[in-house]
C-alpha cells in the first residue's frame, strides 16, 4: 500500500493560496526567546539559542531529566523531559507564553539549578 501523494491535494492548494499574504510577527517570539535565554544563561543553564523555534532545549543539570522536570514542576514551571524527544539529559521549555510568565519563572529556574549543585 502506498502512503503518499503524487501531487498536492486540491484542498491544500486552496488553503495555501489563501495564506499567501499572511505574515507572522517574528519579533514577538524573538523578544521572548531573548528574555528566557538571558535568564537561563545567567542562572547557569547550557543551551543553544534557537533560530526558528518557540522553545529551548537546555541541558539538564542532573543526568535524570525526568527527575529534573519534576523539580521544576514543584516551582510551577512546566517542562518536558528531553528523553520524550529522544534526547535524554535535556529538557524542553516553550517560550510562547506572555512575558510575565517568563519573567516570573526565572527565579524558579535559578533556585532549581542551585538545588542540583
Q: What is the CATH number of the domain that holds 29?
A: 3.90.1150.10
For residue 50, is it within any domain? yes
- The band of 4, judged by pLDDT with boundaries at 50, 70 and 90, is low
Q: State the pTM of this model.
A: 0.81
Nearest alpha carbon to residue 43 among 58, 65, 31: 58
Taking phi first (over 0 means left), then psi (-120 to 50 degrees means alpha), and beta for anything else, what does residue 76 get?
Answer: left
For residue 55, is it within any domain? yes
- Look up the domain containing 88 and give its range: 24-116
For residue 28, is it within any domain? yes
For residue 7, is it within any domain? no
Q: How far apart are CA 31 and CA 111, in angstroms?
A: 24
Please state the domain count of the chain: 1
- The band of 9, judged by pLDDT with boundaries at 50, 70 and 90, is confident
Residue range 68-84, pLDDT digits in tens: 999 999 999 999 999 99
* Residue at grid coordinates 539529559: 89
Q: How far apart are CA 106 and CA 101, in angstroms?
A: 9
What is the number of other CB atoms lying within 10 angstroms of the CB of residue 29? 16
**Which helix (H) or strand (E) is 101 found in, with range?**
helix 99-116
Nine cell digits for residue 80: 518536558
For residue 103, is it within any domain? yes
Residue range 37-56, pLDDT digits in tens: 999 999 999 999 999 889 99
For residue 92, is it within any domain? yes
For residue 11, is it within any domain? no
For residue 90, is it within any domain? yes
Amino acid at each position: 500500500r502506498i502512503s503518499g501523494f503524487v501531487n498536492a491535494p486540491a484542498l491544500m492548494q486552496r488553503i495555501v493560496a489563501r495564506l499567501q499574504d499572511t505574515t507572522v510577527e517574528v519579533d514577538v517570539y524573538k523578544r521572548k526567546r531573548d528574555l528566557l535565554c538571558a535568564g537561563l544563561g545567567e542562572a547557569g543553564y547550557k543551551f543553544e539559542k534557537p533560530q526558528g523555534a518557540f522553545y529551548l532545549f537546555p541541558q539538564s543539570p542532573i543526568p535524570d531529566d525526568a527527575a529534573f522536570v519534576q523539580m521544576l514542576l514543584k516551582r510551577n514551571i512546566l517542562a518536558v523531559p528531553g528523553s520524550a524527544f529522544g534526547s535524554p539529559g535535556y529538557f524542553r521549555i516553550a517560550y510562547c507564553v506572555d512575558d510575565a510568565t517568563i519573567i516570573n519563572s526565572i527565579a524558579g529556574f535559578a533556585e532549581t539549578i542551585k538545588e542540583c549543585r
